Every structure is written in C-alpha cells, then in structure tokens.
Amino acid sequence: MTPHRPDAGLTAWICAALLLCAAGAGVPHAKAQQVSVDDAAQAYRQIRIEVDYAPAETIAGFEIWYAGQAFESTGEAELHSTIRVADTSALARGPEDVLFDRCWSDGLPIHRDSAGSPVADPDASNWSCALSGMTPGAEQWIAVVPVGADGAPLVDTESLQPVVGRTEVPDERTPPPDTRPVLYALSLVVLSTVALLLFLRRQDARQGRSKSRLAHVYVAPALIALATLTFYPILYGIWLAFTNADQSRLGDEAWIGLANFATVFAGPGVWRVTLFTFVWAVSNVLAHVALGLALAVALDRRGLRGRMVYRTILLLPWAIPGYISVLAWNGMLQPDGLVNGLLGTAIDFFDGAGSARTVVILVNIWLGVPFMMMVFSGALQALPSSMYEVAEIDGVSRWNQFRHLTLPNLKGTLVPVSLLGFIWTFNSFNTIYLLTRGNPYSGFGEPGATDTLITHVFAVAFEYGQYGVAAAWSVLIFLVLIGFSWAYLKRTRAMEAVA
C-alpha cells in the first residue's frame, strides 16, 4: 500500500497501513499493526494518529518517528516520542488537559508514570496520540516502530512505510478576546469626561468668565487621556478585586465578594511584608536625606577645590539608568563578585533573609542619595551667604551653624522632599526585582523575605496569575497611599499653589 495523502477538510478516517509482515521475513514475531491519521481531530500544530495492533509480550514500547518528507529508515527521520508498554495497575490515567502530546488508550487518557511519560497497558490493542510540534499546512510522514525490552526495534527500520498527515489549523495567534466591553467602557469614560467638561464650561459662561472659554478645550485632551488610562483602570482594578479573575479567566470573571480580601489577610506573611515595606521605605529615606544633606553641605563649602568634579561624579548613580546600576550591583554582590573579592570572602549575600534585606536597602540607598544631594544643593544655594559670614564673625562653630542656621532654613525643602521620597521608595520596584525578585523564597504564594508590597503584588499577578487577589492587594495599597498623599499634599501646602 502506498502512503495516502488525506485531503484537507476531509473528516473521514483515512487509513494508511504499515504492515509489518510486508517488511520482511527476518523479523521475529511480526504482528499486524495499523497506523491511521485521524483528520477529524485537527488541532493547532497537532496531528492525531491512531495505532491498532495485536498485543504481544515482546512489545515493550513504541517509538514514533517523523520527518518532513518520505522516509524509509529511521536514520532519515526524527524521534518524536515514545510510549512504554508496561503494567499500568499502579499508575493513574493522565490528565485530559495536558497541552502537549495528549494520548489515549482504549478511548481514555493514557496512563502516565511519575515522570509524565505515557504508558500503555500490555493487554491494550490500541492507542492514539495527538503529536504536537507539527508544522501547519505541511505534510508530515509518521511511522511507528515497536521495540523490544532491550530497546531494539521489532521491525526492519530500513524499509518503513510511514503514513502521511497534515494539520490545516493556521499558524496564527489565537483570536483576541471580545473587545466590545472594554471599548464600551472606554467610550463611556470619554463621554462622561466630555460631559463633565461641557458642564464646567456652562458654569463658567453662567458666571460670565468669557475669557476662559478655550480653557476647557485645552485641558480636554490631557484629561480624557488621564480618564481613559488612569481612572478607568483604577475603577476596573477595584472591580477585579471582587472577582475571581485569573490567568485562565480573562474577560469572563465573576463576582465573588470579599473572598480576595480574605485571601490577602489570611495569607501567611501579610504583616511581615507590610512591616518590611515600611522598614524599607523609612530606612531608605532617612539615609537618603542624611547622606544627601551631608554631601550637599560639604559641596557647598566656600573655596572647595574640585567642586564641579565631585559634583559630576557624585551625580552618577542618578544619571546612570537605574536598572543598569542595580544589575551591576547584583553582579558585584555575587559570591565571585567584586565585593567578595575585596573582602577576600565568598559570601552569598542573597542567601539569608537578613543579609538579602540589608543588601537591597544598601543598594537602594546608593541609588537615591544623589537626587537628595541635588535638591539640597539647590536649596542651600538659595540661602544668603551673608548669614554665614555674620555667624563666622561671631565665632559660631560649624556644627552650630548647621543646626541653627542651615537646618531651620532648609525645613521648607526637607519635609516635603522626605515625604515625597518616602512615597517614591514605597512605590519602587526595580531595585528589589532586579536584585532578588523578592527572594529568599518563603513558600508558594507567600511574599519572599525581601518582597515589599509592590513587588509582591507583581508576583501575585504575573507569576502566580491571580489577578483578582493582586487587584485586592492593589486596592489596599491604594488606600494606604491615599493617606500618605493626603498628608504630603497638606504638608507641602500644594493646594495653595493651585488656588
């Protein structure tokens, strides 16, 4: 029999036979075996074959060989997979939803051993497999070779007669999910923003402020952009926090009430990660402000030689892209890195919880000092130098000048910048993600030793795929930050600038 070419779209069983008896007389225990391609079960990059054979004790397994053109010997083909024949009484039938190389025996999912490899029962006379990794729209030649207990083939592998199969499922991305709900929601947001602006404009007109007629038009694009890409996601996120959204349920999530919040608070390590977030933010800000102020004061000293050189070099941690510096520190802190080289040790700083935490904080301090230094430098330059000259004449010591002249005068900068620094550090992600990814690991779903709230939310969402739980975390962080921002905006009297 010649290999048969099944027509695309044909849903009938098309059988091509590989008859072992035809292969030659020298093969012992030659048994009839029939391989067929199931064209009805087309799937993406998969060809399903069905094998019927007479069970025999000599058969210890099957090898499936394939190639892109006709072949006669296994030397011209590639081994796709193997199926063992063994006692299956102690094994479970594999899950139906494995993605690759799904196999069935007697119409049920095939047994699988502890390594996940398929195993057929010695009594079975039939199995089928959906072979994955096949090029769509192209013919594939497939041959099945029974092997004995010693792994040697039971048929002549020089005169194989493969079957031909193809899958016509196109090589495309899966169609995008239904975009209509999102588009409706976005249009609604845009329309309500426009309506709000029109309403405000009418109010203006009623109050007789004709000069500012165009103002709302000017603000409109920015406001609409903000509404669609910030307010809408925030609202969507709040909705997600009450649903069972996860990686497999995108777009058809269902309301589950407060369950996600219960998951958050019942989970191990909630308070630990919250505490570490605050330790992280507070220690960083204290160090940033103290060191930044010290450097700014040092650079501000009159007659300091090489000020511009110092200043430029000290700016580097701010100027170099943050992710590059953090990755560089990652390399330097490896057991065979520069830091250990200098100390003459081989410590893995990222191994223990305590040392990993210290290290992430130190690296972030390194990153953040220059910004504070620059801010304070600017503020110091604004102070009148005559103030210090008078103090000098009066014999006030440097320390007292700093305490009683510099500090009180810097307070207007110090307080808002510290609060802002706190919020920024609280929100920071790169340092921890690129240094430790929150490790040392403390258990599945649990925040790692160096996780902050922010990096943990990332892990929950994009490593564990629990969008709903991540959204619940986000809502909680949002509430905490509203508190901080409120305090900050009140302290900085920003609203007076607005008025």
Judged by CB under 8 A, the residue of 136, 153, 416, 445 near other proteins is 416
Q: With CB under 8 A, what is the number of residues at the site for other proteins?
A: 120
| Binding status of residue 229 toward other proteins by CB under 8 A | yes
Judged by CB under 8 A, the residue of 68, 133, 331, 443 near other proteins is 331
CA distance 35 to 65: 12
Q: Which helix (H) or strand (E) holds 164?
A: strand 163-165
**Interface of this chain with other proteins, residues 452 to 471, rule: CB under 8 A:** 454, 457-458, 461-462, 467, 470-471
For the bound state, the minimum distance from the C-beta of residue 256 to other proteins, rounded and expressed in Å, comes to: 16
| Binding status of residue 340 toward other proteins by CB under 8 A | yes
**Interface of this chain with other proteins, residues 23 to 82, rule: CB under 8 A:** none
| Binding status of residue 258 toward other proteins by CB under 8 A | no
| Binding status of residue 495 toward other proteins by CB under 8 A | yes
| Binding status of residue 207 toward other proteins by CB under 8 A | yes
Phi-psi region of 24 (alpha: psi -120 to 50; beta: other; left: phi over 0): left
For the bound state, the minimum distance from the C-beta of residue 33 to other proteins, rounded and expressed in Å, comes to: 43
Judged by CB under 8 A, the residue of 99, 336, 393, 394 near other proteins is 336
Q: Which is nearer to other proteins, 24 or 181 (CB)?
A: 181
* C-alpha distances in Å from residue 25, one per residue of 28, 30, 154, 273, 364: 8, 8, 12, 72, 76
Nearest Cα neighbor of 405 from 422, 389, 417 is: 389
| Binding status of residue 280 toward other proteins by CB under 8 A | no
For the bound state, the minimum distance from the C-beta of residue 235 to other proteins, rounded and expressed in Å, comes to: 8
Judged by CB under 8 A, the residue of 420, 442, 445, 464 near other proteins is 420
**DSSP character for 436?**
T
CA distance 309 to 150: 75
CA distance 191 to 232: 12
Judged on CB neighbours under 10 Å (0-12, 13-18, 19+), 427 is middle
| Binding status of residue 191 toward other proteins by CB under 8 A | no
Judged by CB under 8 A, the residue of 53, 62, 71, 232 near other proteins is 232
Q: Is 148 in contact with 59 (CB distance < 8 Å)?
A: yes
Residues in the chain, total = 499
**Interface of this chain with other proteins, residues 131 to 190, rule: CB under 8 A:** 176-179, 182-183
| Binding status of residue 194 toward other proteins by CB under 8 A | no
For the bound state, the minimum distance from the C-beta of residue 392 to other proteins, rounded and expressed in Å, comes to: 10
Q: Which stretch binds other proteins (CB under 8 A): 4-12, 31-39, 99-107, 320-328?
A: 320-328
| Binding status of residue 430 toward other proteins by CB under 8 A | yes
| Binding status of residue 9 toward other proteins by CB under 8 A | no
**Interface of this chain with other proteins, residues 393 to 412, rule: CB under 8 A:** 398
CA distance 337 to 329: 9
Judged by CB under 8 A, the residue of 71, 120, 426, 436 near other proteins is 426
User: What is the strand order of the sheet 78-85 is part of?
Assistant: 92-93, 111-112, 118-120, 78-85, 61-67, 140-147, 163-165
For the bound state, the minimum distance from the C-beta of residue 241 to other proteins, rounded and expressed in Å, comes to: 9
Q: Phi first, then psi: give them for residue 182, nearest 5 degrees.
A: -65, -45
| Binding status of residue 417 toward other proteins by CB under 8 A | yes
> Measured over all CA atoms, what is the biggest interatomic distance in the chain, rounded to whole angstroms?
116
| Binding status of residue 345 toward other proteins by CB under 8 A | yes
The single residue listed with the structure tokens 């010649």 is: 2
Nearest Cα neighbor of 337 from 364, 365, 359 is: 359
| Binding status of residue 261 toward other proteins by CB under 8 A | no
For the bound state, the minimum distance from the C-beta of residue 204 to other proteins, rounded and expressed in Å, comes to: 5
Judged by CB under 8 A, the residue of 153, 337, 440, 445 near other proteins is 337
Nearest Cα neighbor of 61 from 130, 112, 122 is: 122
